[in-house]
A and B are shown apart, each in its own frame.
Chain A
Amino acid sequence: MRTLVGDERILMKHGAGGRAMRRLIEEVLTEGLAAGGRPGDRGLKAMDDGAALRVGDQWLVITTDSHVVHPLFFPGGDIGRLAISGTVNDLSMMGATEVLGLTCAIVIEEGFARADLVRVQQSMRATAHEAGAAIVTGDTKVMGRGELDGLVLNTTGVALTDRVVSDAALQPGDVLIVTGTIGDHGFAVMAARHGLALDGALQSDVAPLNDMIRRVLRAGGEGVVAMKDPTRGGVASSMHEMASKAQLSIVIDETAVPVTEQARAASELLGIDPLHVANEGKAVIGVRAAAADAVLQALHAHPLGRRAAIVGRCVEGRPSVVLDTGVGRRLLMEPEGEPLPRIC
């Protein structure tokens, strides 16, 4: 019986959005809870970006997130913008683009600079405004120096929608669209966090997507069948979840995946696949083939969707994600934990 420390302790990989985290959630965190909740609601069993609770003939979508990004201020954004965008986007991925309200709970480490707190709050305010949403309540706590690393933000969002779009409804023949360039946020944060001295313009893409998704839903209607925001674990994780829930195989055309030159450079230098890297201003959208053009058009017309592209298609087969590299083919792995740069 192996007694490696990992069996008893939570490690960084458990928060990285990949397989280890999924297993922790399934085996420990949601253990015994899925049976709770009202019949007809879509809660923990669905393990989607949020929960959808039936209210009259509509759905109340609710989602919650904690944000612990480091550094707090990174090229292209900060923890405040990340918090608001993340929650607004989780709601949008469920089809709920009209946000009723947001909450914000803050835990602050003793010694944290007040000026930084002001910066974060201003950023949250601006981002919420961008999303047409308001922060309506919150909570504040302070912990002793060293008991917490700077700042932890938790945001919850609620929205109403007539139709819930899940991440589980793909069928063979459907196509998969990414709404723009992949890997921007993760590589920007990695560069800043590890002091990589990548003296290039790597910027996070963090942004609220509800306006863009609103137009997507208007253009594609019932043809929009699945949506996920590829945050931790990247597009690979999202594709794996969608393939697994729909019990089919997804084939990705690697040459069609939009990647900025800067992210491509970071990817080559670090040996980390952009498909494994977090995005905070992008969506993966599963669409019936007939609706794909309309959805693409709507995306291209929006400032956040200019580089949108069809990158994959669904085929019959055991749940898997296959990558066509242009020069060959392979399975795309589900990321294990934090992406780590390689030794050669």
Chain B
Amino acid sequence: MCLGVPGRIVEVNGLVATVDFWGIRRQVRLELVDQPVAPGDYILNHVGYAIRRIPDADIEGTLALYEQLLREAESDGDLMVADVRGEIAAAEASRDER
């Protein structure tokens, strides 16, 4: 029960949600979250309260951010960075297949 940890909502009962964290379920309170949440949504949990809803798309958005960073940083043609970007792209491709 700790620093902001992301979890997936399984069930909502009024102001309490059952949230799945890597397979473990916990009760999380909803007094603070500022968007309506439903089963399937990801939330950020902090000491037992959902403080934010994490839109799925934003996770991809963050990874895209890192991609861009690497692209910009790679302007001197660092080969290793190119290799790594290839690895990230491959990982994304296999994830898309799931």
Do A and B associate with each other? Answer: yes
Contact indicator per residue, chain A 306-344, by CB within 8 Å of chain B (1) or not (0) = 000000000000000000000000000000000001111
Q: Is the CB of B1 within 8 A of A262?
A: no
Bound-complex Cα distance A23 to B22 (A)? 38
A residues less than 8 Å from B23 (CB atoms): 200, 261-262, 265
Q: Does B81 contact A (CB under 8 A)?
A: no
Q: Is the CB of A200 within 8 A of B5?
A: no
The stretch of A30-38, A63-71, A125-133, A268-276 that contacts the partner chain? A268-276
Total interface residues on B, CB under 8 Å, equals 15
A residues less than 8 Å from B88 (CB atoms): none
Q: Is the CB of B25 within 8 A of A199?
A: yes
Q: Is the CB of B3 within 8 A of A261?
A: no
Q: Does A197 contact B (CB under 8 A)?
A: yes
Bound-complex Cα distance A197 to B1 (A)? 10
Q: Is the CB of B3 within 8 A of A199?
A: no
Q: Does A264 contact B (CB under 8 A)?
A: yes
Q: Is the CB of A271 within 8 A of B24?
A: no
* Given A196-B1, A341-B2, A344-B46; A269-B21 close (CB under 8 Å): yes
Q: Is the CB of A344 within 8 A of B3?
A: yes
* Given A341-B2, A342-B3; A268-B21 close (CB under 8 Å): yes
CB within 8 Å: A-B pair count = 49
Q: Is the CB of B5 within 8 A of A268?
A: yes
B residues less than 8 Å from A199 (CB atoms): 18, 24-26
Instruction: List the A residue with the shortest CB-CB distance to B23.
Output: A261
* Given A344-B46, A344-B47; A270-B24 close (CB under 8 Å): no
Bound-complex Cα distance A199 to B10 (A)? 13
* Given A265-B21, A269-B21, A344-B46; A198-B26 close (CB under 8 Å): yes
Bound-complex Cα distance A250 to B19 (A)? 38
Within 8 A of A (CB), among B1-20: 1-5, 18
Bound-complex Cα distance A270 to B24 (A)? 12
A residues less than 8 Å from B1 (CB atoms): 196, 269-270, 341
Contact indicator per residue, chain A 222-240, by CB within 8 Å of chain B (1) or not (0) = 0000000000000000000
* Given A196-B1, A344-B3; A269-B24 close (CB under 8 Å): yes
Within 8 A of A (CB), among B63-80: none
Q: Does A266 contact B (CB under 8 A)?
A: yes
Within 8 A of B (CB), among A173-202: 196-200, 202
Instruction: List the A residue with the shortest CB-CB distance to B3.
Output: A344
Residue from the list B22, B27, B46 in contact with A197, Cβ < 8 A: B27
* Given A269-B1, A341-B2, A342-B3; A261-B22 close (CB under 8 Å): yes
Instruction: List the B residue with the shortest CB-CB distance to A261.
Output: B23
How far apart are B6's CB and chain A's nearest CB, in angstroms?
10
Residue from the list A265, A341, A342, A343 in contact with B24, Cβ < 8 A: A265
Residue from the list B2, B3, B24 in contact with A262, Cβ < 8 A: B24
How far apart are A340's CB and chain B's nearest CB, in angstroms?
11
Bound-complex Cα distance A202 to B25 (A)? 11
Bound-complex Cα distance A4 to B21 (A)? 40
How far apart are A50's CB and chain B's nearest CB, in angstroms?
36
Instruction: List the B residue with the shortest CB-CB distance to A200.
Output: B24
Q: Is the CB of A269 within 8 A of B27?
A: no
Q: Is the CB of A197 within 8 A of B3?
A: no
* Given A265-B21, A344-B47; A271-B27 close (CB under 8 Å): no
How far apart are A190's CB and chain B's nearest CB, in angstroms?
11
Q: Which of B4, B5, B24, B27 has the most CB of A within 10 A?
A: B24
Residue from the list B3, B18, B22, B26 in contact with A271, Cβ < 8 A: B3
Apart from A199-B26, A270-B2, 7 more pairs, CB < 8 Å: A196-B1, A261-B22, A262-B22, A265-B22, A265-B23, A344-B4, A344-B46
Question: 16 A-B contacts, Cβ less than 8 Å apart?
Answer: A197-B27, A198-B24, A199-B18, A199-B24, A199-B26, A200-B25, A265-B22, A268-B2, A268-B21, A269-B2, A270-B1, A271-B2, A342-B2, A343-B47, A344-B4, A344-B47
Q: Which residues of B contact A (CB under 8 A)?
A: 1-5, 18, 21-27, 46-47
In the A-B complex, the 3 residue pairs with the closest CB atoms: A200-B24, A344-B3, A265-B22
